[in-house]
Structure 1
Amino acid sequence: MKQLQHLGLRIHLDFKRVDSALVEQARSIPVAVVGDVANRLQAFTADFHQYGRLKRFAGPALTVRVRPGDNLLLHQALEKAQPGDVVVVDAGGAMNTAIIGAMMSSYAKTRGIEAIIIDGAIRDVEELAKVDFPVVARGATPNGPFKSGPGEIGYPIACGGLSIAPGDLLIGDPDGVLVVPISEVAEILKLAKAKHALEQQWEKEIMAGTWDRKWVEEALDKLV
């Protein structure tokens, strides 16, 4: 294949991925908890929906940018992805053409890909609901994609109102999807594990009737 290295038509695969040990740590922490310690600024907007049967995932981002309505570079990304990658696609938020459907999702699963996220539309909703593979997108349409390019793989993209660089950590669960820049992952997960442990302790106190709620009145007093 010819080398693709022009702006808007290029592929870069030699990037650092978030450490696999950190990915495994992220799997055990609710996305909402990670979002809290990231100051509630790293979650995708609420208009993204889960379509695959599996809702939980974690892995490094393999970024893809396509022309709205076209999925040629996404097909190439599925060939180049490493096992465990989360393929995340900036499709311009276009909702009139689906970028993937059930067959591509099933193929991605056989390639060991962790999940696919589309800032745009998908199709084959009923079939996707039966596939044990996470698929996240803004919506669905029966219109299929074109396959003529151009596009990019392995460069920074915008998706879900956020900037995502290749190798960043992407995590998802039924609450939604969140991105953590690769340079911040270790510290954010350290804080998230501590907060998760605290919330688990609060749950025990709730069940025991001993949860300290003095902070509510203290917060109200500060308003006076």
Structure 2
Amino acid sequence: MTVSDIRIIRDFERLPKELLDEYKDLAAANIGDVMGRFRSMDYTVKSMNKLGVHLVGSALTIRIHPTDNLMVHKAIDLARPGDVLVIDAFGGKENAIIGELISHYAKIKGIAGIVTSSPIRDVHAIYNMDFPVFARGATPRGPLKEGSGEINTIISCGTVPVNPGDIIVGDDDGVVVVPKEDAVDVLEQTKLIQEKEKSIIDKMCKTGNWERKWVDEILQQKGYSSQ
């Protein structure tokens, strides 16, 4: 449906739940490493919850005016359990885009979490909720509800492009976006990285050493030779 400055695509293709569930044991940082560190949202998009948060789900994308969240309310009505609301408010800093009421209703509906590069409000309540919210700080100034915006189109959040159905993974380090067409390959490579890092840590703990030869090898490749 398209009316004036409103565009709503009601549905999108989601990846199988079994595939999404395999991401629940993966760290956002390791996933970001696999993707060349280009799909990690910038440092301003941080968890607003207690330590230990882990978010995995399918991106339901929303683009709104920086001061208005009517399309967020409509997106909640369209969302399925396991979706993550990813909100592009053009990096707005003046108005909170979500708060306690939206977060509670999203949780009741089975939505996996909310990600925005704009502020939120009611941070004390959200901090104590068992519902992942990632945002750019907080402000008491609430949003308007005039209605311009889009649902389920390509957006940008935290300087990263997000398509409907991409996998969103968030933890205490921040948020990464896995393009849905790369989901299987990224999953397999991330598992290998985590197994390799565990092996390195186990060896360090046993021997008290970390093999450092690779440092000088890289320096030599760059033309530096220690004397």
- The answer to whether TM tops 0.5 is yes
Counterpart for residue 108 of structure 1 = 106
**Residue deviations 1:77-120, cap 9 Å, x none?**
11110000000001111111111111211111101000101121
| In 2, Cα distance between equivalents of 1:217 and 1:8 | 57
Unaligned runs of 5+ in 1: none
**How far apart, CA to CA, are the structure 1 residues paired with 2:103 and 2:171?**
18
**1:217 — aligned with what?**
216
Q: 1:74 aligns with which of 65, 72, 75?
A: 72
Aligned-pair identity (%):
39
Structure 1 counterpart of 2:87, from 86, 89, 109: 89
Normalising by structure 1, we get a TM-score of 0.94
Give the number of equivalent residue pairs: 221
Tell me if the contact between 2:119 and 2:138 (Cα under 8 Å) persists in the aligned partners. Answer: yes
The alignment status of 1:203 with 2:201, answered yes or no, reads: yes
**Does the residue aligned with 2:117 lie in a helix, a strand or coil?**
strand
Q: 2:31 aligns with which of 27, 34, 37?
A: 34
User: In 2, Cα distance between the equivalents of 1:6 and 1:79?
Assistant: 18
The farther-off stretch of 30-39 and 17-26 is 17-26
Find out whether 1:12 has 2:5 as its counterpart. no
Q: Is contact 2:44-2:117 (8 Å) kept?
A: no
Pick the structure with more strand per residue.
1
**What RMSD over aligned residues (CA atoms) do the two structures have, in Å?**
1.3
Provide the rounded CA distance (Å) in 2 between the counterparts of 1:8 and 1:158. Answer: 18
- Cα deviation, residue 129, structure 1: 0.9
Consecutive aligned runs of 4 or more in structure 1 exceeding 3 Å deviation: none
Distance 2:11 2:44 in 1: 32
Q: TM-score under structure 2 normalisation?
A: 0.93
Partners in 1 of 2:62 and 2:23 — Cα distance? 23
What is the SS of the residue equivalent to 1:147? coil
Q: Distance in 1 between matches of 2:49 and 2:6?
A: 30
Displacement of 1:22? 1.7
CA shift, 1:14, in A, is 2.8
Who is 1:121 aligned against? Answer: 119
Displacement of 1:7: 6.3
The within-5 A match list for 1:128-207 is 128-207=126-205
Counterpart position of 1:52: 49
Return 5+ residue gaps in structure 2 as ranges: none
